[in-house]
Amino acid sequence: MQPLIRIEDLRKIYHVGDQEIHALSGVSLTINPGEFVAIMGPSGSGKSTMMNVLGCLDKPTIGEYVLDGHAISQLHDDDLAIIRNRKIGFVFQSFNLLSRTSAVENVELPMLYSGVSSKERRQRAIEALQSVGLGTRLYNKPNELSGGQQQRVSIARALVNNPVIIMADEPTGALDTRTSVEIMSIFQRLNDMGKTIILVTHEPDIADYAKRIVRFRDGRIVEDVDVQNRRIVAEIAVAAEEEAIS
């Protein structure tokens, strides 16, 4: 199987005054299509830097990064922006929704940079929102939605360009326990449908919804294991989506 992500001896060095900060120190990692990987580690471990590099938001100082056949380390900023738009869907802790814009308009945003017609944008945005149980909330603004519903909008936005990978940075960090379970059930369902998911979290119980956990410390991978006794919540997801629609 051709890896979706291949990283070899990746290093990220920041310069602060006359000091060098080694955020990543020789990381090597392979992720295959269809995996669900949780990245964990304490503050300062390098997990956020790793997510930024994986998401083409930052470039490594040294090392090789190949994403879906593209040598990311060699690309210029404009090319990275194209890769991000076409290949990656992002979900963030803070939702990052436009406050004065409806759910369906928020979901349409990634397609504005892809040359998609207005009619197709609207149709695809509606279908994406329906897929996360928000078919009756299309024209609500963020302040008219619960935190869990806002995160569903951000997941729909991440899906709308049919990316090869979804990257979620602490997606349950601002949510209560029940809503977190509902959101993780959506990620599990998407993964069951073939989507590759990379999740950054500091919560062990959230990481247990993934299939694989990669732990960072001091800019290095210290553990890479399959999840034992994985949490499965597909039935909860169906109930939650029915409740959201009713």
Angle at 82 between CA 197 and CA 40, to 5 degrees: 30
Predicted confidence at residue 246, as pLDDT, reads: 38
* Structural contact between residues 183 and 175, judged by C-beta atoms closer than 8 angstroms: yes
Would strands 88-92 and 70-71 be described as parallel, antiparallel, or unpaired? Answer: unpaired
Sequence-separated contacts (24+) of 75-80 with Cβ below 8 Å: 80/56
100-122: per-residue pLDDT in tens? 999 999 999 999 877 899 999 99
pLDDT band, very low/low/confident/very high, at 163 (cuts 50, 70, 90): very high
pLDDT band, very low/low/confident/very high, at 234 (cuts 50, 70, 90): low
140-153: per-residue pLDDT in tens? 999 999 999 999 99
Predicted confidence at residue 115, as pLDDT, reads: 82
What is the mean pLDDT of the segment spanning 166-176?
94
24-52: per-residue pLDDT in tens? 999 999 999 999 999 999 988 999 999 99
* Structural contact between residues 153 and 103, judged by C-beta atoms closer than 8 angstroms: yes
* pLDDT beyond 70 at 235: no
Domain architecture of the chain: domains with CATH: 5-245 (3.40.50.300)
- What value does the mean pLDDT of the chain take? 91
136: Cβ contacts below 8 Å, ≥ 6 apart? 245
* pLDDT beyond 80 at 204: yes
216-226: per-residue pLDDT in tens? 999 999 999 99
* 244 or 20: which leads in pLDDT: 20
**Left, alpha or beta for 221 (phi > 0: left; psi -120 to 50: alpha)?**
beta
